[in-house]
Amino acid sequence: MSSPSGEPVRNVAGSTAASGFDIDDPALAESISAGMARVEELLHDSVRSEFDFATRTSLHLVDAGGKRFRPLFALLAAHFADPSPDEVITSAAVVEMVHLATLYHDDVMDEATMRRGATSANMRWDNSVAILTGDFLMAHASRLVADLGADAVRRMATTFEALVTGQLRETIGVGDGQDPEEHYLQVIYEKTGSLIATAGRFGANAAGATPEQVAALESFGKSIGIAFQISDDVIDIASAATDSGKTPGTDLREGVLTLPMIYARDASDTDPRLLELLGQPLSSDDDVSEALKLLRESSGLRRARAKLDEYAQDSRAVLAELPACSARDALEALVHYVVARTR
């Protein structure tokens, strides 16, 4: 679909809307495009510093682009009420700035070399610069969120805690006697779902939505955030080329057990060779290719898709509580997209 100006409206996956998440209402699409332009402007203005090097390192990922899923969701949430207040744009910029900060830190922990098609900050400079740039962005996000009021500050503090706790849980791994599936779902809620839920809450609250609508959009953000991460993990195994920009088998190389792998390990019909491969990080391309082939044939991948369908249904049930409008239609299209991209 195109905007009134004839330019393609971009979707949450960073591709044209025709290939995935459509905003069918031209007026809503135009409003979202205008809002996202203001978010980009605020992101650029907010990270500027009298110390030019800090500005350059902060703009490194801002300028690299990306899905901008979190601010887009905040803007859509605002369209259940009045999307015009400046606080709506601030809310959208805050959640994206926090997300960018976590990417700088993640790339250090993962020893990443690329991010969004560009050399990662830790490789372009070094780990210390990447960590400090993430901290710099967190500081500026905190300054922005202060303009949204005390409740928003408390909510963001809770979200910060969830983001860090989720990373710690993933780093430490599954504890003795802990269910691996529950551990996985808790990790992806904290690392992914928590900030997306906050995006929905902030956008709706800034727009003056009712408390019930704010709660529903926060709940939707949680469930669709978890669903989005499950779909990413399925795509990492099932697809030769991924929408997320990841090389297939990235999780296998990093030794991260995602839901399809967890289910495959627990299944009675899993090939013993796959169990052997899943017991360690894989550095050999041949081993990764073999593990991917076996996972694609396993019941673990089918069960992961079924779990994705459950979260998609939860998301639709929450949307049913919201008033019918173009924004709800767009979010329903998003749910469809999150599932369809894995098929």
What pLDDT shows up at residue 243? 47
How far apart CA 222 and CA 242 sit, in angstroms, is 23
For residue 323 the two structure tokens come to 């008033």
Q: Are 225 and 99 in contact (CB under 8 A)?
A: no
As averages over each run of 10 residues, the pLDDT of the chain (343 residues) reads 32 36 89 96 93 88 83 97 98 96 82 72 84 92 96 97 95 91 97 97 98 98 96 88 62 88 94 92 92 95 96 97 97 94 83
What letter does residue 111 receive in the DSSP assignment? T
What pLDDT shows up at residue 1? 31
For residue 250 the two structure tokens come to 């990235």
List strand residue ranges (DSSP E) for 142-230, in order: none
What pLDDT shows up at residue 37? 95
Helix (H) and strand (E) counts for the chain? 16, 2
What pLDDT shows up at residue 188? 96
Is the sign of the CA dihedral 89, 95, 97, 103 positive or negative?
negative
What pLDDT shows up at residue 11? 40
DSSP SS3 for 328: helix
Contacts of 32 (CB under 8 A, 6+ apart): 9, 23, 72, 75, 76, 79
What pLDDT shows up at residue 116? 64
What burial class does residue 237 get, using C-beta atoms within 10 Å of its C-beta: 0-12 exposed, 13-18 middle, 19+ buried?
A: buried
